[in-house]
Chains A and B, each alone.
Chain A
Amino acid sequence: MSSIIVSLKRKQIAEFIEKEKRLDGRGLLDYREIVVEPGVIERAEGSARVLLGKTEVLAGVKIGIGKPYADTPNEGVLTVNAELVPLASPTFDPGPPKENAIELARVVDRGIRESKVLDFKKLCIIPSKKVLVVFVDVYVLNHDGNLIDASALAALAALLNTKMFNYEVEGDEVKIKSDLTQLPVRKHPIAVTFAKIGDKLIVDPWLEEEQIIDARLTVTTDDDGNICAMQKGGNGYFTPKEVLKAVKTAREKAKEIRKKLKW
């Protein structure tokens, strides 16, 4: 449940957006400032801290050796988890992840998985027995809206920062060597989230906007402009026209972000 927002503010935000303006001075299709700081957690194989305005997300990558899934015996495993850390917002409760955290993790996961950021076949050590397991843990440290885009950026930045141990296979044994190599990252999927307020679409809603939106739509696109993941949320709707417009805009926005971050 979103916390109560003062009705006066609600009216103000809606009126501004109707006039194609936003309270923080942005245009409807402008992102807040994006800051990416890789390698902030030395213990992790890869990590990154992302600031999207005041929204702050930390992502860490750990790599382990585990068993493959039965239906993909010669492929490595990717696991994305998200924690809405209680210190980040009065609306986050401690305890096991609830639907918002689970949805967040699964949307980030789909973007990485479907755009084939990782070559899962290369993460196989011994087919059906041993594969590399890539754990991406997303930690929301401050909630000021648009957690999906910030988390997707943090997860990708952490993967780009990941150095993996080398290993040798002797029979059924895996020997871990002391030197490290870069985890190959093949694509740069960017999630772009739209919010619908009245009949206007805006990108990168901040918290107060998020609390009054009718619906949101996340579109994740890869370097070639292909669409690799989408998710509609919220208890409103989009028209088919709005969807196509959002997808087109998402491709442009993703390109801009990639350029800005030199990805």
Chain B
Amino acid sequence: MSTFFEKRQLVTPGDMLAEGTYVAGENTYKKDDKIYASRLGLVEYKDKMVNVVALKAFYIPKLGDTVIGVIVEVGFNGWTVDIHSPYLAVLRASEVLSRPFRPQENDLSKVLNAGDLVIAKIIAYDRSHDPRLTVGEPGLGKITRGQIVKITPTKIPRVIGRNGSMVSMIKQETGSHIILGQNGLVLITGKTLENEQLAIMAIQKIENESHISGLTDRIAQAIKKEKAKQKEEVKNESKT
């Protein structure tokens, strides 16, 4: 029984991570008692479990996940939603219009049109069916303002941080409201455009550097630096 890498070491697909009675966790697979990486990422050994935290992955729908998506098609009795996943999601008209709707009378494109953004929850999904969404809960529905950043979905937990520490710090420091879609889309709404830019910068920095230690401090510092720069610019503008 042995492991072949340091904790949090960068591994590539096919690297042998452990041999013996280990259990293959995320982004790994087992073959003849050996555990190999199936994605590029950072290896983690927890007890008998071997995981790889992928540096790049795409979103696979999970029941109960909150996602942010774009309406790509208005159909006869519902919408098709791009949730940045291999599968397109379906939002049925009955999920949005509470009374029984009549296709002849209700123009669905007046409720949600192609290009509209929605925050939604996944209520059904399996291997043979595309994911189904609902917007019928508080906090869900059409997005009317703010900006969207797209990051690789495996980084969402890093944006959240331990017990939400990272995201609360960013919210506080940038004065912005942040909604995280598990599919890697993040909605940022701030009082000013500058505030939103700050939060976007912070989130992109997390995406690029999450595999390097001391992340929270670095992000906090980067925000402060950027803030100072923004103030400077405002000053310079008012002078001229």
User: Within the complex, are A and B direct neighbours (CB within 8 Å)?
Assistant: no
Residues in chain A within 8 A of chain B (CB atoms): none
